[in-house]
Amino acid sequence: MSKTNLTRASQELFRREPDERFPSLTALMDHCRQQRDDSRELWWQPDQLATRAVDVLDLKLAGGDGAELTMTDWSFTQLCSLCRVHKGTVNRLQANTAAQIFRETLPSTGKPMQVLATGDQARAIHGASYTRLFNSELLDVVVDSADGLEAPPKGFNGATGLYCGDEDLFCFLIDPNGWIDINGEQFAPGMFCWNSEVGKRSLGVQTFWYQRICGNHIVWDAVEVVEFSRKHTANIRESLSEVRDIIRRLVNRRDERRDGFAQVIKTAMGTRFADSPEEAVIELTKQGFTRSLATKSIEDAREQGSLTVFSVVDALTRQSRKSVNAADRTARDQKAAQLLSLAV
């Protein structure tokens, strides 16, 4: 079983400011819906697009309908790219000089330009071929499909895994109750999804089964990793169906495995582990447990009732929790879980 470590959420954790973090999927959804409600798409002919110097340093984007909008760093970058001028050079000039450069370099013919305005701010400038997908549209699909998934534990710096800024969205979700056994090891389902309303990144989703998430939000030992992404072209909304299907396959697989695991537990509760405590200790030592741990666990299991496979595994897990070393606890828990195969 090939495993990989996923670092996408960790990269987001380190680059996001506190005002881009959201405590829950509901809070993130509310923000994205409000952002969409406050936004409008303006279509301006190329010869209507212009810039105007407000003072020495302030430059605004102007359109044929009389609108004047401030620019974000991203929309200013797009304007420079449209005019094929170097952003760093323009940034060193006074606003009236920069406006003159844009007057001479802005295209005056061609298809209409689309400007995404939120309030009095231009967040993006695109040609006619760009098709926008709002973040709330993606989150509608996630909320509808990702049953039982929620934000991960906060990272070491308070980052939540749920982010949205002016330029893009990133969403990290896990099922903290979805642990199942895959080939004798414990895994839980998780996913990332991302989008940009302003063309900064593609639409995408990645699902996986993981074993551990650290404070840096690195996803360790992931298996069954599935990824899908699409650029914002004319058929971008059709891609939402693929995103929905990928998430639902993860959730359905979780439910199937969890149902199967529940049946294993039921069988384990009715299967005798050994005929006597002495034989039970011998069997555990054969399975790689120390005699001390085996003896304490069998005594614990007997106090709880009969020596079934389930009671022994449960006792081993309780004894494992007394270890101060997290790595030792994880190794013992995984080894104990493998004993459930004796009941199959």
What is the model's pTM?
0.76
Distance CA 344, CA 338 (A): 11
* Other beta carbons less than 10 A from residue 294's beta carbon: 23
Q: Per DSSP, what are the bridge partners of residue 187?
A: 180
**C-alpha dist (Å) from residue 287 to 64, 189, 291, 306, 338:** 78, 28, 11, 20, 9
Distance CA 207, CA 146 (A): 11
Q: What is the DSSP string of 178-199?
A: --EEETTEEEEEEEEEEE-SSS
Q: Which position has the higher pLDDT, 10 or 284?
A: 10
Query: Could you tell me what percent of the chain has a pLDDT over 70?
Result: 94
Q: What is the DSSP string of 316-341?
A: HHHHHTT-S-HHHHHHHHHHHHHGGG
pLDDT in tens, 127-144: 989 999 999 999 999 999
User: Which pLDDT band holds residue 328 (cuts at 50, 70, 90)?
Assistant: low
pLDDT of residue 229: 95
pLDDT of residue 191: 97
Whether residue 298 contacts residue 315, with contact meaning beta carbons closer than 8 Å, is answered with yes
Mean pLDDT for the chain overall: 89
pLDDT of residue 144: 95
Residue 238 DSSP code: G
Domain ranges, ordered by start, for the chain: 4-36+133-258, 46-111, 270-343
pLDDT in tens, 227-252: 999 999 989 999 999 999 999 999 99
Residues 6+ apart with CB under 8 A from 278: none
User: Which pLDDT band holds residue 322 (cuts at 50, 70, 90)?
Assistant: confident
User: Which pLDDT band holds residue 333 (cuts at 50, 70, 90)?
Assistant: low
334: number of CA atoms within 13 Å, CB side?
Answer: 14
Print burial letters for 142-162: b (CB count within 10 Å at least 16), e (below 16).
beebbeebebbeebeeebbbb
Residue among 226, 170, 172, 173 nearest 197 (CA):
170
User: Which pLDDT band holds residue 56 (cuts at 50, 70, 90)?
Assistant: low
pLDDT of residue 330: 60
